[in-house]
Amino acid sequence: MSTIRLEIVTPERIVYGEEVNMVIVKGELGEIGILPKHAPFVTPLVISVVRIKKDGTEQEVAISGGFLEVNPEKIVILAESAELPAEIDIDRATAAKERAERYLAKIGAESIDFRRAELSLQRAINRLKAAIRK
Ligand code: ATP
C-alpha cells in the first residue's frame, strides 16, 4: 500500500512524523480523507480528532484547529495545539470542561467572552473524546 509522510506540528513541538496510508481530517466544510498523491491544497481545520491510517491500524491525534497543507512530498498539519491520546491529561480536560460550562452558564450569549468560553469547552470535549477512545 502506498504511503505519504504526515507531520503534525504545533508552535511548541513536532507531535507526529511518520509515513502513513491515509489521513482523515475535519475542515470547516466537513471531513476530508487524504491519500498519497492527493492534489496539493491548503485548508483550515476545526477543533477535532485527526484519524491516521497506517499498516492496518488507526491512530488519533486531538488538535485545536489549525491548517492542513498537502504538497507532493508530504502532508503537514500545523495545529494550535495537538496531543496523542496517551498524552492527554483527563483530569485537566475535565476541569477545563467544567470551568467552561460554569462560565458559559454565568455569562450571556451576547457577552464578548462567550465564543472564547465555547471554544475552550470544545477543546476540552475533543480531548476527552480522543483520550477515552484510545
Ligand atoms: P487548559 O484550560 O487546561 O489550559 P486549554 O484548552 O486552554 O486548556 P491550550 O491553550 O489549547 O489549553 O493548550 C496549552 C498547552 O497545554 C498545549 O501544549 C496543549 O497541548 C496542552 N494541553 C492542554 N490541555 C491538555 C490536556 N488535557 N492534556 C494534555 N495537554 C494539554
Q: pLDDT tens digits for 84-96?
A: 999 999 999 999 9
Q: Which residues surround ligand 1 with Cβ inside 6 Å?
A: 12, 64, 81, 83, 87-89, 92-93, 96, 120, 123, 127
Residue 3 Cα distances to 21, 38, 89, angstroms: 5, 11, 31
CA of 81 to the centre of ligand 1 (A): 7
Identify the bridge partners of residue 99 per DSSP, sorted by sequence position: none
d(CA 83, CA 79): 10
Comparing 4-85 with 88-133, is the CATH topology the same?
A: no
Ligand 1 midpoint to CA 11 (Å): 13
What are the pLDDT digits (tens) for 51-63? 999 999 999 999 9
| Mean model confidence pLDDT for the chain | 95
> Would you identify the CATH topology of the domain 88-133?
1.20.5
Q: Which CATH number fits domain 4-85: 2.60.15.10, 2.60.40.10, 3.40.50.1220, 3.90.79.10?
A: 2.60.15.10
Domain range annotation of the chain: 4-85, 88-133
Task: Work out the pLDDT band at 1, boundaries 50, 70, 90.
Answer: confident
18-22, 42-46, 104-108: least confidently modelled range:
104-108
Integer Cα distance of 122 and 97 in angstroms: 8
- CA–CA gap between residue 74 and residue 68 (Å, rounded): 11
Q: pTM for this one? A: 0.95
**Beta carbons of 48 and 63 less than 8 angstroms apart:** yes
Cell numbers standing for residue 9: 506540528
Residue bearing the bigger pLDDT, 112 or 41: 41
Q: Is the pLDDT of residue 134 over 70?
A: no
What is the Cα–Cα distance from 96 to 49, expressed in whole angstroms? 18
